[in-house]
Structure 1
């Protein structure tokens, strides 16, 4: 079977296309909401910072999802495609929460209408009533795109399902180890987004530049980046000391996120998180669960070091196969001489 070129099939192009279309639609709607609110309130005030933060997070989320989709198709990574579907569900939840967050930011008196106050009232004709329909449309569009994406991921599963076999052969133990490695790398990418999402909200919406907590948040950024990059590199290259250090940092990072979660609800600090508490809580809990899962999978990968998987993780076999498939339109067979994915690996 020949290796299909990147974006060379209808399923691949359609999958990228639906992500792009929903991203454009969602960002356009959120931009309109941002503009409507910005015309009537001072977004530099603490109560209204949730609005630009919402826009920033969705720009980040849509760009991240698009890059993850290109990366998954380039690597023929079915596990990452499944992760994108789960990430899309998280976007539905996040956009739904933002309806409540926007109401908290804008509405001070729910029962009055626009004749009393266009901005702070929640009745008919008010600013909130003008934007709430657009906010509801966002999760609806994302959910509709998710249903279509499932169809194309199913097609891509059958298209890419043989890729792991061509890297590690038919040995079940080797296949399982390689799948755990792929899950770990995929989790590290989503860890990065979750951490970035929490950090953006804290730095834009909540924390004062002069506060100690602001300094701690800034200091945590390079630590977490070193953790993620170090864990991925050590898993690929099977560097045991670096992997052990990365796993230790994961546990330390759990302490950091738990500390943040407590701060959201402590009587002494809960007021400063009022307008974004729901979103921050969701992001932080997801970060904690992702890190715990990453730690468990990383520990499993650590135990698999030295069992014959190193060559498959470092030789970039799929990219070699794709380059080979372009020559003269010929189709090389898996067992043909010089085929770049040979020899198949085995484990005794």
Structure 2
């Protein structure tokens, strides 16, 4: 362990404590947690009502119906994705507040709107799933839709209200973090812009991960694969994606052009993959396999394609910034005299006399 490790740990603890000592970071963090808890409870209630209203699905007449079995996976998939989405969002909030990264906070507000869209889409898809399952006489409780409809409608309503409040809190945090930057940042405007591009790139990688994994989970759970090979290749994409994103962050921090070119090629491959999947979802021959989650798969695919285009563009920008001194700032260790407001602990820690480890928008 290096000599700087204890100092880094102390900075991490101090930065985490600082989130709860200050008004606006504390409000942002608590708001994100409360939203996650309420929405996950509502989703869990929907899942419980759905499951308790069904007959025993292990009966022979139900097991042989592929469409029925596919629709049965719809609500568990929505529940799982909401749990993943809100937990991941809370972690991103904590990370952004710890780094005082306004860019990431803005990204979180946008991601919250994506969760709102997802919550709205699930209303129609769950209603459709219940309608189809009723056609198979799968429900002993025929009022299950009436029991969960209000809760499902409330979820996007709650997320919409919280999104407005988070946007307001982001503005207040921008003002607070900008004051810290004013006290600590150097006068090199060009270096600050390079660092800003780097921070945008790292934030994009984090959101790329969630939307890619969200799409893959829906595909694996509901759609599956018509062959074992297709299923295996799709499942293997998740650890491969994690490796690619970590390699992208590592190569950017160390300004490795070969690594960045390799990552760029993989990005283009990923972009081709999602465009292909999006076309396949609406192919007249293949669309029957995607019907249970077609709308949500479409939303995830479109958002991932947009994010990949933005990531590829920002990859080029970061590569153009190589060789101009940013690497030395990114790889510098923490300063012993750094105060609690400068605490930052993440895979892209940045500490330097002229440049702090987080960035706000000017």
TM-score range, shorter chain: 0.7 to 0.9
In 1, the alpha carbon distance for the partners of 2:336 and 2:211 equals 29
State the partner residue of 1:173.
190
Say if 2:329 and 2:355, in contact at 8 Å, map to a contact too.
no
TM-score, with length taken from structure 2: 0.82
| Correspondence for 1:129 among 146, 155, 164 | 146
State the partner residue of 2:241.
224
Query: Would you say how many aligned residue pairs link Structure 1 and Structure 2?
Result: 323
State the partner residue of 2:304.
287
In 2, the alpha carbon distance for the partners of 1:16 and 1:319 equals 28
1:87 matches 2:104: no
For 1:191-270, what aligned pairs fall within 5 Å after superposition? 191-208=208-225, 210-270=227-287
Say if 1:167 and 1:317, in contact at 8 Å, map to a contact too.
no
List runs of 5+ in structure 2 lacking aligned partners. 1-14, 64-68, 344-350, 357-362
State the partner residue of 2:359.
none
Cα deviation 1:158-212 (Å, max 9, x = unaligned): 1112455667522221111111110000000000000110111011111148433
Helix, strand or coil at the partner of 1:107: helix
Runs of 4 or more consecutive aligned structure 1 residues displaced over 6 Å after TM superposition:
none
Say if 2:267 and 2:312, in contact at 8 Å, map to a contact too.
yes
For 1:14-163, what aligned pairs fall within 5 Å after superposition? 14-41=27-54, 42=57, 45-108=69-132, 119=139, 126-162=143-179
State the partner residue of 2:21.
8
CA spacing shift, 1:47–1:162, aligned 2, 3 Å:
same
Helix, strand or coil at the partner of 2:289: helix
Q: Give the deviation of 1:92 after TM superposition.
A: 0.6
Q: Give the deviation of 1:10 after TM superposition.
A: 1.1
Say if 2:29 and 2:90, in contact at 8 Å, map to a contact too.
yes
Q: Which has the higher contact order (CA 8 A, sep 6+)?
A: 2
Say if 2:255 and 2:322, in contact at 8 Å, map to a contact too.
yes
Cα deviation 1:141-170 (Å, max 9, x = unaligned): 111111221222112111112455667522
Q: Give the deviation of 1:6 after TM superposition.
A: 3.8
In 2, the alpha carbon distance for the partners of 1:320 and 1:267 equals 64
Greater alpha carbon shift after TM alignment, 145-154 vs 197-206: 145-154
State the partner residue of 1:342.
353
Say if 2:18 and 2:341, in contact at 8 Å, map to a contact too.
no
In 1, the alpha carbon distance for the partners of 2:285 and 2:337 equals 58
In 2, the alpha carbon distance for the partners of 1:50 and 1:126 equals 18
Say if 1:31 and 1:55, in contact at 8 Å, map to a contact too.
yes
Say if 1:187 and 1:294, in contact at 8 Å, map to a contact too.
yes
TM-score, with length taken from structure 1: 0.85
